[in-house]
């Protein structure tokens, strides 16, 4: 995998080995950032970060800060290694449950300009209601939430849908407050 655009365009990034992580492909990442637009100076929360490809792409494109949240230890080690090799500052990697961190962000009153959610496809239905409770209070007033799901899933959240697009077996759905 490579960074698609920005200051680190073309640089290779590592993904953890095994079947636990499904990195977002180049085509889908490029489409996602075309939908989102510029992220200069943004605070990004990359939930279910996996390989960290989405958050790393945001940092390369000028995001000020990115918090990567991932349960899997091997994935967290890969994200940290990528951050080190790319020399990114302004990043934090949390090996924790995404819903727990999201609840803590809400309790602390922290808001983010861009929230990236790429949960395991089979977890969306179990998490959707709780995400719906938490996300509106964590996304900044002018922020966006981008959800990647299986193409057969149409996520609904108590946010305004901006667009939904299909890319192979993936669906990207963009929401705003």
Q: Residue-wise pLDDT tens for the chain (177 aa)?
A: 888 898 898 888 888 775 455 667 788 889 999 999 999 999 999 999 998 999 999 999 999 999 999 999 999 999 999 999 999 988 999 999 999 999 999 999 999 999 999 999 889 999 999 999 999 999 999 999 999 999 999 999 999 999 999 999 999 999 999
Contact residues for 105 (Cβ-Cβ < 8 A; gap 6+):
45, 112, 134, 138
| Whole-number pLDDT of residue 135 | 97
What whole-number distance in Å separates Cα of residue 160 and Cα of residue 158?
7
Tokens 């990236």 — which residue? 116
- Identify the H or E element spanning 100: helix 98-108
| Whole-number pLDDT of residue 39 | 97
- The two three-digit tokens of residue 92, written as one number: 């934090």
Find residue 114's DSSP bridge partners.
44, 144
Cα-based angle 73, 74, 80 (whole degrees, multiple of 5): 90
| φ and ψ of 66, to 5 deg | -145, 130
Cα-based angle 65, 132, 175 (whole degrees, multiple of 5): 60
What's the gap between Cα 96 and its chain centre?
15
How many angstroms separate the most distant Cα atoms in the chain? 38
Is the CATH number 3.40.1160.10 carried by domain 26-176?
Answer: no
**Taking the model in full, what pTM does it have?**
0.93
């Amino acid at each position: 995998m490579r960074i698609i655009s920005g200051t680190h365009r073309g640089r290779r990034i590592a993904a953890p080995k095994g079947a636990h992580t499904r990195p977002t492909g180049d085509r889908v990442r490029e489409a996602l950032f075309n939908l989102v637009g510029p992220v200069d100076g943004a605070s990004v929360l990359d939930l279910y970060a996996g390989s960290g490809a989405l958050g790393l792409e945001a940092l390369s494109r000028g995001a000020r800060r990115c918090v990567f949240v991932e349960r899997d230890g091997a994935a967290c080690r890969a994200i940290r290694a990528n951050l080190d090799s790319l020399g990114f500052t302004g990043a934090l990697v949390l090996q924790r449950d995404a819903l727990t961190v999201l609840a803590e962000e809400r309790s602390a009153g922290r808001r983010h300009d861009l929230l990236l959610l790429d949960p395991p496809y089979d977890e969306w239905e179990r998490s959707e209601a709780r995400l719906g409770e938490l996300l509106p209070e964590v996304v900044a007033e002018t922020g966006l939430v981008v959800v990647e799901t299986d193409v057969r899933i149409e996520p609904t959240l108590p946010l305004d849908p901006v667009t939904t697009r299909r890319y192979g077996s993936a669906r990207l759905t963009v929401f705003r407050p």
